[in-house]
Amino acid sequence: MTVILSHGFLMTADVWRLQARELSAGGVRVVRYDQRAHGNSVPGRAALTVDRLGADLAHVVDATTPHGPIVLAGHSMGGMAALTVAARQPELIRRRRPHVALISTACSRAQLVPGNHPLHWIKAAARAGYSYPLCWLPPAADVARRRLPSRHPWALRPETQHGGDTPPPSRQAIRRTPTAQIAQLWKSLRTYTTAEMLHALDALAGHVEIVTGELDDWIPLSQTHELAQQLPKARMHEPVIGAGHRLPTDRVGHAAVTQVLNRMAEAALRAPASAAPRGERT
């Protein structure tokens, strides 16, 4: 039994530390990884797109868990990667029949404006204020990032290495990533969609759950409802009261995510499955 955890934009696998700790304590095998160009993962030579992240996730599944029951949990951009696997590689979904947790994620492009409240428009203006220079003036942004304090999440410190076996903190997600690469991925998020392409995932009746926070101002509830409409057989939970976007580490939301993953792992273990090859670790 393996739970594979995929993190979001400008984060690292460290965002899953609470869930990984509890799942492992319960005897569940956990796989978490830094998305390419994040944390300890290099960008590679391929274009940085959500489709590429979906292909990466499919590779992680095949490389780490070729057999046995699995749970795929994706937060934000990590959830988009999981949806991309369903859209682009539906045969993997049909063959492995994973349980899937879609946490604070969407099947349509990232939005600058999360709603119609005046505060949302203020946030949108602030986001546009830094996203457009990042996308169109990356060399200048790199100069500014090198002058930021070392602990600033946007600081650019290519020479800094994270020691130990644990993932680097999420605040170090892009400290080695040039701005041009961040911009490339952001542009992909702004054009991404898997709407009308999730038939393989919708066929997993009872295997898919959608979780979000009431105060999520990156993936608004309108996008969560759109995702639920694309997956009418999925279980959509009531939004976690008082929780924001970073649900796996949210002060009030992390327990809800852990509970969902624990239950899905138990359900995956109970599901009929072919016998594991001799020597396989589950």
What was the pLDDT predicted at 45? 92
- Give the pLDDT band of residue 122 (cuts 50, 70, 90): confident
Instruction: Round to whole Å and give the CA distance between 116 and 112.
Output: 12
* Per-residue exposure over 27-56, b if at least 16 CB sit within 10 Å of its own CB, e if not: ebbbbbbbbbbbbebebeeeebbbbbbbbb
Average pLDDT over residues 150-160: 87
3-state secondary structure 252-277: CCHHHHHHHHHHHHHHHHHCCCCCCC
Quote the pTM value.
0.91
Residue-wise pLDDT for 15-46, tens only, equals 999 999 999 999 999 999 999 999 999 999 99
The secondary element (H helix, E strand) that includes residue 184 is helix 179-191
- Give the pLDDT band of residue 277 (cuts 50, 70, 90): very low
Q: Which of 207, 208, 204, 200 is nearest to 228 (CA)?
A: 208
The SS3 assignment for 79 reads helix
- Lowest mean pLDDT of 71-75, 112-116, 205-209, name the range: 112-116
Residue-wise pLDDT for 45-83, tens only, equals 999 999 999 999 999 999 999 999 999 999 999 999 999
